[in-house]
Amino acid sequence: MILHIDMDAFFASVEQRDNSELKNRPVVICGSSPRAVVSTASYEARQFGIHSAMPLFQARQRCRNLVVVPVNMEKYARVSRQIMAVISRFSPLVEPVSIDEAYADVTGCRTLFGPPEAIAMQIKQHILTDLSLTCSIGIAPVKFLAKIASDMHKPDGLTHISKEQMPAVLKDLPIEKISGVGTRAMKQMGVLNIRTLGDVQRFDADFLSRKLGKFGARLFELSWGIDTSRVETRSLRKSISSETTLAADTADFLEAKDILLAHARRVGRDLRKKDLVCQNVAIKITFSDFTRITRSRKIDAPVCSGEAIFHVALSLFEQVPLKKKIRLLGVGVSHLQSADIPVQMPLIPPAGHRIKKQWETVDRAVDQIYEKFGRDMVTPAVLKPMTAKPLAKGGKMTQSMKVLIFGKVQGVFFRMETLKAAQKTGVTGYVRNRADGSVEAVFQGTPDQVAQMEKWCHTGAPASRVDRVVTEDMPSAPDFRAFEIRY
């Protein structure tokens, strides 16, 4: 059984505890800049509709007696360590997930401390008596449900979803309760009339994967109560990261993409140097107004290639609405393990597996060049201006190039946009969807035209997400008369 422990109005409760004048009053914890947003609101302030991430001026409009307390991160970090210490008294398997929440696997703790509910009550009791704070705890057979349960009866709640209750809870669970559901996936599910996990159960895994990508497969499993993620202890959560404060704040997506790539490659290199692999990738963004967000994702199989880390980082980045300029950008990896630990491979390797292995080989070769000749000898293709090799054919300089585009790239719109771009550039050839979810295109034209199209492929049609572009010269391609969409 898994426990998910989440503190109630954490920053605000700590301040209310330490200053009796703040007790029972509407309090927000907030930065001091004029454009500051609320970090958290006390439950008294929440009655006015004030919540985390709300601009302070708006919060003040809602409640005239609002008390604004500055953030004291060091103090919250200290209290956080005390909370984790309390939880660790009841289980050796504790995974802190943020400053105020943790998972604890209490499966093996029954003999010492009793059944999960008794353990949860004792944790709540200790946090209250030792630290004068309240928390809410969710208990469930799997992690994602434990997290949902802890939120069900906040504040000071205790919610147990037993194995027997799981089917009924899953059936009515609104999908927006599941963490990691992006706005695009929400839209797509709206089209499919999916509002609850019960609705998800009507579809099969293949269909959901096709419609929602990788998230579809996870959603399918969750809808049937399957969540294979384990509670990862702190020792496994060491991380490696790379970040920079930019010379000038930027809102340029391509610039940010290049920075992410550079960081991902640096992190990958560090991993390989230490003979480690990671199974979690995170990005960190500080905006020009100093608000900061982090996003992270667990990945299916451990990786150490900069390319693999980059693709996860990029997809996380794409889910962040860029309303403000970026001041700092970073990539981090965690859930590290030795690269020597044999990874259990699925019987049928997933489609990307071979490509992933190839990238790791490329990365290791590039590492050696770095070691020998220094940094500037090799740069990843995306950071380099695109060039094309001309080939003499039929007396005129034409080049034919086959391009495979991976990512969220299928659909009528993507093909139409490729056609439009090709016609604009003047190349001939074709574009078609492939069964594995990628798009294949062949471009024929002058080296310049082909290079332009190759460059276009790296960004793709608006609203698409290009993960990877593989190109291949085709010296013996036939002459194409026009550019067409093939089916």
What is the contact surface with Mg ion in residues (CB under 5 A)? Answer: 6-7, 10, 100
Q: What is the DSSP letter of 65?
A: T
Q: Is 454 in the active site?
A: no
Q: Is 155 in the site for ligand TTP (CB under 6 A)?
A: yes
Residue selected from 40, 399, 428, 444 as contacting ligand TTP according to rule CB under 6 A: 40
Task: Provide, rounded to whole angstroms, the least separation between the CB of residue 100 and ligand TTP.
Answer: 4
Task: Provide, rounded to whole angstroms, the least separation between the CB of residue 121 and ligand TTP.
Answer: 19
From Mg ion, ligand TTP, none, interface partner of 155 (C-beta below 5 to 8 A by class): ligand TTP
User: How far is Cα 151 from Cα 139, in angstroms, rounded to an integer?
Assistant: 11
User: Which residues are CB-contacts of 227 (< 8 A; sequence separation ≥ 6)?
Assistant: 142, 143, 144, 145, 221
From ligand TTP, Mg ion, none, interface partner of 404 (C-beta below 5 to 8 A by class): none
User: Which residues are CB-contacts of 44 (< 8 A; sequence separation ≥ 6)?
Assistant: 24, 25, 26, 27
Q: What is the DSSP letter of 95?
A: E
287 has which bridge partners? Answer: 326
Residue matched to tokens 């797509």: 188
Q: Is 6 in the site for ligand TTP (CB under 6 A)?
A: yes
Contact in structure between 21 and 35 (CB atoms under 8 Å)? no
From Mg ion, ligand TTP, none, interface partner of 53 (C-beta below 5 to 8 A by class): ligand TTP
Catalytic residue of the set 44, 95, 101, 417: 101
Q: How many residues touch ligand TTP (CB under 6 A)?
A: 15
* φ/ψ (deg, to 5) at 424: -65, -40
Task: Provide, rounded to whole angstroms, the least separation between the CB of residue 435 and Mg ion.
Answer: 45
For 22-60, give the DSSP string. Answer: GTTS-EEEE-SSTT-BEEEE-HHHHTTT--TT-BHHHHH
Nearer CB in complex with ligand TTP: 40/334: 40
CA distances from 156 to 80, 120, 134, 373 (A): 17, 12, 6, 59
User: How far is Cα 433 from Cα 412, in angstroms, rounded to an integer?
Assistant: 9
Residue selected from 10, 287, 317, 359 as contacting ligand TTP according to rule CB under 6 A: 10
Nearer CB in complex with ligand TTP: 7/469: 7
Q: Is 9 in the site for ligand TTP (CB under 6 A)?
A: yes
Nearer CB in complex with Mg ion: 77/377: 77
Pairing label, strands 439-445, 396-408: antiparallel
Residue selected from 2, 22, 39, 143 as contacting ligand TTP according to rule CB under 6 A: 39
Helix 447-459 vs helix 412-425: crossing angle, to nearest 10: 150
Residue selected from 68, 97, 99, 339 as contacting ligand TTP according to rule CB under 6 A: 99
* φ/ψ (deg, to 5) at 435: -60, -25
By rule CB under 6 A, what string of x and - marks binding of each residue 102-141 to ligand TTP?
Answer: ----------------------------------------
Q: Is 286 in the site for ligand TTP (CB under 6 A)?
A: no
Sole window of 82-90, 95-103, 238-246, 264-272 interacting with ligand TTP (rule: CB under 6 A):
95-103
Contacts with ligand TTP by CB under 6 A lie at 6-11, 39-40, 52-53, 99-101, 154-155
Residues recognised as catalytic: 101
